[in-house]
Chain A
């Protein structure tokens, strides 16, 4: 039995402690916005925040997270899709198939929380998620837009 604080709510989950956080979020807690892409920390589709840090939840056993740690998923990033990153994503029509985009948005939000005015180089090295549809240029532009650094290029 583990206790997890996800999007401000405490959940009791009965799972094998080795179960990756991703699968607890998706299957026990029932939040499916966080995606499975590779399971080996390569693609970032499973990115969530643990105490504000971007974490690839497919490779983190649920036993490594305590109740005191705050887990945020895409569903909890903002109550209404109003996070600046989400707004920038909509404004620039970033997603294609969209499957990687929860992870992209969570990675971008964590990057901006740590570095509110990232340079282009910071964005390009800081977002390491895979998008097979190839939305990278719009991802980069949307992070700049969310940071208010678009003009500076």
Chain B
């Protein structure tokens, strides 16, 4: 097993052809044949392999898509192992190996900012167990008690006798020992590898062109496929005229893919793509061809006042409190569909025969990819394998649903024994995303004579991701994930305010556009709705937005601490220095999601012509334990690019049942010239493990929108900003 995965790191092409070679000789992939392989390779346990030359290979079950999980998880294992960090590298076990070894590596899903926070316990135990076995092996060799030996920097020493041995020299003996049953993990305050701002392990190959992504894969004899799925979601493929293109150079086959798509298989992808462009296709678009963004919006609007709604959070009697309040405020917000737009379009390479199917693909969830492969191949999972390839971005698109894998396998089934790489064009990727759900929200609140908030009703209307992807998790019409950041107390995504009378409910309205988990998920719109409305309430009450929030946050010390930190660091309460002669205004937002507490203070100026410039964002994060502070900073900066792109530009609109935006010219994103300065304050308060890949996205937009109000007096309640005229009258 180790042999093949080792090769993965040296260069994928070697592995791919080796695996393929073995595969074609009766479909035995080397790793499957060799596992569990403890005798041949110095595997101490599922997580740790130590070679005789002291190289340490840490196995990583979660996927690296840029978020730094690979390095962070390796740090945690190496910490408990007392490893020499300079000797550490990583490899992915395959989903097939995980299946064959009774899920020795646990859950492979990489989403919801869970990579570190859900697996820190067992990966650290894997490192600690390996260390204890190495120490025991040394103690046995020297005939001394293990308690008298110490392990540090990949060496075991026995101080009394001055003896020492390297991990590499002990690994084979250690691997024969029974794993320890009692494992005590280090106190994080004693960490020397974890918790440190170490450089990533995967940087160099990303600076010289060597990093192989799924789109780069090349197998011997491989053909290339381009695909077009019915642009109207839910529509069908009626017919196509293959004869019109079969004589084009390189074209091998034109394939119907399931019931809604057609693919061209050719020698090169460019040949396939251009032939597909020339292929006459007739679609059966079905009733969804009548749907538009306007019709969806009208349906959602109806849900804002619908009698039926699932309750997410209820305290007291909000309706009565609002009715009795001397001052009331109401506002309606909305958030549009958006595409993940991973820089690397969806792709998978599949090799199918009647006996076995293998897939190579960038995936956030190897096990789900394996399940999709098996289903599409018509074979049991034990006869399938998925090789996880590095991801050119994931953001939730490459997680739960492996639509592109099913397509690739369906195409490969038409060409048994020939590997086929399916690569989506950017246009296909834009038209067939799993889109950020569309929602609207009506907020109603009552204030007493002193401007205190006495009741609030937050009615969300719109799409449920869970209803589409995990319908079994909908109970009594209630999608729990819709209430991210708005839940009663809890470790995952709790509201940070104590409001004496509160009702938060959801009227589910699911348009035909397939929704997906989009980095930040439902926290994105919920934080905008709540934090912008909090700003509106503060203004209505004649109070400072920070003070107004603080008065509601006394029972939420962690929420409050990050808000205070962001505000203080930004200089809230003191005037911001003008930029280019324009006054700079600040806006605040805070939320909790993915187990972490986050807050931001944005500094914005607006020109008389209405042009918005975001100059600086100060972000505070309490993720409990901070595994790699410099990677947390990178995630905060990156998440603001995602969040600001969404706030300024992000929108996919439906016309005649299909998405209108087909490429980056109509789906703009933030670029360097618009990037604000980002200052990250990490406040790891300890005692819990929160995610860092997503939560800060959610505070970017509301902080900026609140700053825009401070600058212009205009409330932006629907995104993206590009539709709003902020010119001064």
Report whether chain A binds chain B. yes
Residues in chain A within 8 A of chain B (CB atoms): 15-16, 19-20, 23, 26-28, 30-40, 42-43, 45, 73-75, 77-78, 81, 86, 89-90, 93-102, 105, 123-125, 127-140
Please name the 8 residue pairs, one residue from A and one from B, whose CB atoms are nearest each other, closest first: A33-B209, A134-B641, A99-B392, A98-B206, A97-B66, A96-B66, A134-B638, A32-B216
Q: In chain B, residues 52-106, which have Cβ atoms closer than 8 Å to a Cβ of chain A?
A: 65-68
Contact indicator B270/A98 (Cβ below 8 Å): no
Chain B residues in 8 Å Cβ range of A30: 218
Q: A99–B344 contact, CB under 8 A?
A: yes
Known A-B contacts A32-B209, A42-B663; A127 and B393 likewise in contact (beta carbons under 8 Å): no
Check A19/B270 contact, CB under 8 A, given A35-B215, A90-B204. yes
B547 within 8 A of A: no
User: Within 8 Å of chain A (Cβ to Cβ): is B199?
Assistant: yes
Q: Which of B210, B395, B634 contacts A138 (CB 8 A)?
A: B634
Q: Which residues of B contact A32 (CB under 8 A)?
A: 209, 212, 215-216, 218
B639 CB contacts on chain A under 8 angstroms: 134
Contacts of A35 in B (CB 8 A): 213, 215, 343-344, 392
Residue of A nearest to B209 (CB): A33
Is the Cβ of A136 less than 8 Å from the Cβ of B671? yes
| Contact (A130, B669) CB under 8 Å given A19-B270, A90-B203 | yes
Interface centre among A30, A98, A139 (most CB of B within 10 A): A98
Q: Once the chains are docked, how many angstroms separate the CA of A136 from the CA of B394?
A: 18
Nearest CB in chain B to that of A137: its residue = B637
8 Å CB interface, B205-246 against A: 205-213, 215-216, 218, 224
Smallest beta-carbon distance B588→chain A, Å: 22
* Contact (Cβ within 8 A) B343 A74: no
A140 to B671 Cα, complex, angstroms: 11
Q: How far is the CB of A59 from chain B (nearest CB, A)?
A: 12
Interface pairs (30), CB distance under 8 Å: A15-B270, A16-B249, A19-B270, A23-B268, A27-B268, A32-B215, A33-B208, A37-B343, A42-B663, A81-B204, A86-B208, A89-B203, A90-B199, A93-B200, A93-B203, A96-B68, A96-B638, A97-B392, A98-B392, A99-B393, A101-B206, A102-B209, A124-B673, A128-B673, A132-B342, A132-B641, A132-B669, A133-B343, A133-B638, A140-B672
User: Contact at A132–B343, with CB atoms within 8 Å?
Assistant: yes
CB of A42 within 8 A of CB of B665, answer yes
Instruction: Closest A residue to B634 by CB, please name it.
Output: A96
Does residue B560 face the partner (Cβ distance < 8 Å to A)? no
Tell whether B630 is near chain A: CB-to-CB under 8 Å: yes
Chain A contact residues: helix, strand, loop or mixed: loop
- B281 contacts A by Cβ under 8 Å: no
CA distance A31 to B638 in the complex (A): 28
CB-defined contacts of A20 to chain B, threshold 8 Å: 270
Q: Taking CB as reference atom, which chain A residue is nearest B199?
A: A93
A86 touching B207 by the CB < 8 A rule?
A: yes
Chain A residues, CB < 8 A from B390: 97-98
Check: B675 CB closer than 8 A to any chain A CB.
yes
Contacts of B270 in A (CB 8 A): 15, 19-20, 23, 27
CA distance A28 to B393 in the complex (A): 26
Interface residue from A38, A101, A135 paired with B663 (Cβ < 8 Å): A38
Enumerate chain B residues within 8 angstroms of A136, measured Cβ to Cβ. 637, 641, 670-672, 675
Are the C-beta atoms of B65 and A97 separated by less than 8 Å? yes
What distance in Å separates the Cβ of A18 from its nearest Cβ neighbour in chain B? 8
Interface residue? B642 (CB, 8 A): yes
Q: Which residues of A contact B670 (CB under 8 A)?
A: 134, 136
Q: Bound state CA distance, A120 and B675, in angstroms? A: 12
Q: Is the CB of B393 within 8 A of A40?
A: no
- Residue in A closest to B669 when the chains form the complex, CB atoms: A130
A77 to B393, CA, bound (A): 24
Q: Once the chains are docked, how many angstroms separate the CA of A36 from the CA of B391? A: 14
Distance, CA A33 to CA B393, complexed state (A): 16
**Contact A74 B209, CB 8 Å, known A39-B663, A96-B68, A134-B639:** yes
**Residue B664 at the chain A interface, CB threshold 8 Å:** yes
- B343 contacts which chain A residues (CB < 8 A)? 35, 37, 43, 45, 97, 99-100, 130-133
Give bound CA distance, A139 to B343, whole Å.
Answer: 17
- CB of B425 within 8 A of chain A? yes
A38 contacts B426, C-beta separation under 8 Å: yes
**B207 close to A89 (CB less than 8 A):** yes
* A110 CB → nearest B CB, Å: 15
Contact flags (1/0) for B389-403 with A, using CB distance below 8 Å?
011111100000000
The chain B residue sitting closest to A103, CB to CB, is: B343
A90 vs B639: C-alpha distance in the bound complex, in angstroms?
A: 21
Is the beta-carbon distance between A38 and B664 smaller than 8 angstroms?
yes
A73 to B208, CA, bound (A): 9
Q: Does B404 sit within 8 A of A, measured CB to CB?
A: no
Q: Which of A90, A97, A100, A127 has the most CB of B within 10 A?
A: A97
Residues from chain B with Cβ under 8 Å of A40 in the complex: 426, 663-665
Shortest Cβ gap from A94 to chain B (Å): 8
CB distance from B724 to the nearest CB of A (A): 23
CA gap between A82 and B669 in the complex, in Å: 31
Question: Nearest-CB distance from B580 to chain A (Å)?
Answer: 11
**B697's closest neighbor in chain A, by CB?**
A134
Which residue of A is nearest B341, CB measured?
A132
Is the CB–CB distance between B393 and A133 below 8 Å? yes
Mark contacts of B190-202 with chain A using CB atoms, 8 A cut-off: 1 yes-contact digit, 0 otherwise: 0000000001101
Query: Contact: A128 with B672, CB < 8 Å?
Result: yes
- B677 an interface residue at 8 Å Cβ cutoff? yes
Q: What residues on B are CB-neighbors of A27 within 8 Å?
A: 224, 268-270
B678 within 8 A of A: yes
B691 at the A interface (CB under 8 A): no
Q: Kindly list chain B residues whose C-beta atoms are within 8 Å of the C-beta of A81.
A: 204, 207-208
**A93 and B211 form a contact (CB under 8 A):** no
Bound together, the chains give a CA A36 to CA B268 distance in angstroms of 14
A97: chain B residues at CB < 8 Å are 65-66, 342-344, 390-394
State A102–B665 Cα separation when bound (angstroms).
21
Knowing that A95-B203, A128-B672 are A-B contacts, what are 13 other residue pairs whose CB atoms are under 8 Å apart, sorted by A's residue number?
Answer: A16-B274, A32-B212, A33-B208, A35-B343, A36-B215, A75-B208, A77-B208, A93-B630, A96-B634, A97-B391, A98-B211, A98-B392, A123-B672
CA distance A105 to B210 in the complex (A): 14
Query: Which B residue sits closest to A87, measured CB to CB?
Result: B207
Q: Is the CB of A74 within 8 A of B208?
A: yes
The smallest beta-carbon distance between A133 and chain B, in angstroms, is 5
User: Of all chain B residues, which has the CB nearest A36?
Assistant: B215
B640 contacts the other chain (Cβ, under 8 Å)? yes
How far is A43 from B207 in the complex, measured between Cα atoms in Å? Answer: 17
